[in-house]
Structure 1
Amino acid sequence: MRANTKIALLAGLISAALLPAVYAAPSGGASMQAATYVSPMEETARASWREAMAQIATPSEGCFQATYPSVIWHQTACHELQPRVAPTPRFRLFGGAAETAGNGNDYTLQSTSLIKQAVGTFPSVTGVTSETGVGVAAYGGGGILGPNEYSLQINSSFNDTTSACRGHSGCTVWQQFVYAPDYEVQGSAAVFMQYWLINYGGTRCPTGFGSDGAGDCYKNSAATTAPDVPATQLGNVKLSGGVTAGGKDTVVFTNGTTAYSSSGADSVLYLAQVWKVGEFNVVGNAGGSEAQFNSGSHITVKLAVTNGSTTAPSCVANSGSTGESNNLNLGSCTTAGGSNPSIQFTESN
């Protein structure tokens, strides 16, 4: 569906939703819960708005925010992020338990055509009452640890090379679209992209990149600030990553009725030239850490793409790229075609 058609439909939904069907509490001792009741029509309008904001391009590079029901991005301040810890791709170390998701043991969506956008959601979240980020011994116990410390990541594979490697033999590119609570400032989250040149080699990384000491180079994009969202509310969030050859790459995080985005030039890694594999999950917050959910947690994970095709993609096991993990056991994975081909799988403990 074309973007202008989506906006028109969204405007209609919002207009209908803002009628008195958004029920006010009756007078005379009604509960606060009744006062904040959201009608089914209103929730449909909000869901359509979240979908639209994942699709609507920001007017330029930088950081932006939009608030329902507006579909206009408003520029906000960006801040530079120095990686608080250096996440290590999973092929360096295998530290998590074999059954846990992440650290390589994850499903990925594999497309036969180039991915222009990937959108990650959690269609069902049940039984989640707590989550704690913990260190993994094989990664030195690093990461941002404690209650509600996790990250949402959409990751490319690390098997492709572009001119960003500057001819270094064996070098590949890897890009992450990230939402991370408390990444730099306690009490607020960062929405950003992290760029990697894997096996760049040598002792000197390109200007602006740091070295992990193992031949890899990495840096963060500018970040936009978003609120810390408790892990119990994963069903309310959406993360998307988009790329444009010769243009900009953008990460968008939506939570309820607010959207946050950060964008930068695709020429950092030229991901738009090679992106055919996507991974999405909730995992530890940097440093190879693990997101540990309470027993009885059940999460459905969905990754949908725009790739110029209506053919169902492949869902491939044991092919994730991030070093972070969670303590959930992977269930079965299904695929679907259509305007936004997707994979969907469950994970629980």
Structure 2
Amino acid sequence: MRSKLTLALVAGLIGAAALPAVCAAQTNGISLQPPSEIVGPLEAQARESWRQDIAQVATPAEGCFQATYPSVIWHQVACREITAHAHPVPHFHLPGAAQTAGNGNDYTLQTGSLITQTVGTFPTVTGVTSEKGVGVAAYGGGGILGTNEYSLQINSSFSSTTSACKGHSGCTVWQQFVYAPDYEVQGSAAVFMQYWLIGYGGTRCPSGWGSDGAGDCYKNSAAATAPDVPATQLANVKLSGTVAAGGKDTVVFTNGTTAYSSSGNDSVLYLATVWKESEFNVVGNAGGSEAEFNSGSSITVKVAVSDGSSSAPSCVADSGTTGESNNLNLGSCTASSGSTPSIQFTESN
């Protein structure tokens, strides 16, 4: 899911991921997984500390890795190449009109300093008993649709250019860090990054890049394989995206006591030189689709960053950069200062 502004906004894209020692099975299209293990408060805190720590530990090389609590050592695993599903950027919506989250209508965290890491979590999830991916007419009804079809996305903005644009006038870079169930294989999720050269021009993209036919170029990183996590367990997951100038960009997905990651060179887009805005949310799984939650659902979204500052960031409305959406209405947004400045908001129906 990705987005771009051409007086009217356009759309986004997606990915896939992983989870613990228990793999989800698929029966009649429904992802089955045991409920979360019940542990005492001290153990729960230890596991949460581990999830925070493992996202800070750099992988030893480019590629895919896995770590299991309580170890903070990444072990290399096989990557898989995945089809770079292109997805639409946000379509124009009327300011002030009632809007559910996504398709441009989302809060983003904006800071004056360069972001080196963004962490997305759902501190509180209540009333969620079901979710399904549904097609959106404005996007041709595309996407990965059905029960428990959604994606988690951390998205940069597409307002800056880098040398990756090779001097093409009007070209900007956009990067997504993604977890997506059933991305290509039923019952298997993918954790990966998708790279975009927005407004690169024409249909002639750099070697190895695909074209969306509208002047934009895209490609995926290698993907780490992970099981599907039912949407009812969003409170247990965490997604992070890390960049390093002259080094590696990494996406890490954790669920319970297992972490999955995929790393690639920052030189694909040079995002580390321009990253000052982050969007995180649960939205449809590709193709401009929508994640439709049952009535009575309420999800708190937290977006935290490391940017070398302790100042509170800005919480900016209507600045999302993905065409995918959900059916939840955005509440108010608050920003907090600290060692990891953050924004937090609730969305519900």
TM over 0.5: yes
**1:98, CA displacement in angstroms?**
4.2
State, as a whole percentage, how many aligned pairs show the same letter: 80
Give 1:48's aligned amino acid. S
**1:289, CA displacement in angstroms?**
0.3
Partner of 1:333: 333
Moved over 4 A (4+): none
Give 1:118's aligned amino acid. T
Give 2:51's aligned amino acid. R
2:66 counterpart of 1:65: yes
* 1:43-85 deviation digits (Å, cap 9, x = unpaired): 00000000111111111110000001111000000011112x3
Give 2:154's aligned amino acid. I
Partner of 2:6: none
CA contact 2:203–2:214 (8 Å) conserved in 1? no
TM-score under structure 1 length normalisation: 0.88
CA contact 1:139–1:288 (8 Å) conserved in 2? yes
Q: Number of residue pairs matched?
A: 312
- In structure 2, what is the Cα distance between the partners aligned to 1:37 and 1:132? 27
Corresponding residue SS for 1:302: strand
CA contact 1:134–1:289 (8 Å) conserved in 2? yes
Partner of 2:120: 120
* 1:183-236 deviation digits (Å, cap 9, x = unpaired): 011101000000000010022100111000000000110000011000000000
Partner of 2:11: none
Corresponding residue SS for 1:47: helix
Partner of 2:150: 150
2:77 counterpart of 1:81: no
Give 1:272's aligned amino acid. A
Please list, as runs of the form range in 1=range in 2, the aligned pairs for 1:182-221 lying within 5 A after superposition: 182-221=182-221
Partner of 2:304: 304
- In structure 2, what is the Cα distance between the partners aligned to 1:37 and 1:56? 27
CA contact 1:130–1:232 (8 Å) conserved in 2? yes
Gaps in structure 2 of 5+ consecutive residues: 1-33
- In structure 1, what is the Cα distance between the partners aligned to 2:203 and 2:237? 40
Partner of 1:275: 275
Partner of 2:316: 316
- In structure 2, what is the Cα distance between the partners aligned to 1:247 and 1:54? 16
- In structure 2, what is the Cα distance between the partners aligned to 1:285 and 1:54? 24
- In structure 2, what is the Cα distance between the partners aligned to 1:188 and 1:292? 21
Corresponding residue SS for 2:296: coil
**Structure-2 change in CA distance of 1:37 and 1:230 (3 Å):** closer
**1:89, CA displacement in angstroms?**
1.4
CA contact 1:110–1:313 (8 Å) conserved in 2? yes
* 1:226-253 deviation digits (Å, cap 9, x = unpaired): 1100000000000000000010100000
Partner of 1:43: 44
CA contact 1:238–1:254 (8 Å) conserved in 2? yes
By relative contact order (CA 8 Å, sep 6+), the higher-ranking structure is 2
- In structure 1, what is the Cα distance between the partners aligned to 2:242 and 2:123? 21
* 1:295-321 deviation digits (Å, cap 9, x = unpaired): 000000000000000000000000000
- In structure 2, what is the Cα distance between the partners aligned to 1:282 and 1:196? 20
**Structure-2 change in CA distance of 1:254 and 1:100 (3 Å):** same
**Structure-2 change in CA distance of 1:101 and 1:37 (3 Å):** closer
**Structure-2 change in CA distance of 1:94 and 1:219 (3 Å):** farther
Greater radius of gyration (CA): 1
CA contact 1:98–1:105 (8 Å) conserved in 2? no
Give 1:295's aligned amino acid. S
- In structure 2, what is the Cα distance between the partners aligned to 1:141 and 1:179? 21
- In structure 1, what is the Cα distance between the partners aligned to 2:270 and 2:88? 21
Partner of 1:139: 139
Corresponding residue SS for 1:184: strand
Corresponding residue SS for 1:50: helix
2:236 counterpart of 1:228: no
- In structure 1, what is the Cα distance between the partners aligned to 2:218 and 2:79? 19
- In structure 2, what is the Cα distance between the partners aligned to 1:157 and 1:184? 26
**1:94, CA displacement in angstroms?**
5.3
Corresponding residue SS for 1:233: helix
CA contact 1:94–1:138 (8 Å) conserved in 2? no
Partner of 2:173: 173
Q: Higher helix proportion, which one?
A: 1
CA contact 2:142–2:286 (8 Å) conserved in 1? yes
Query: RMSD of the alignment, in Å?
Result: 1.3
CA contact 2:202–2:214 (8 Å) conserved in 1? no
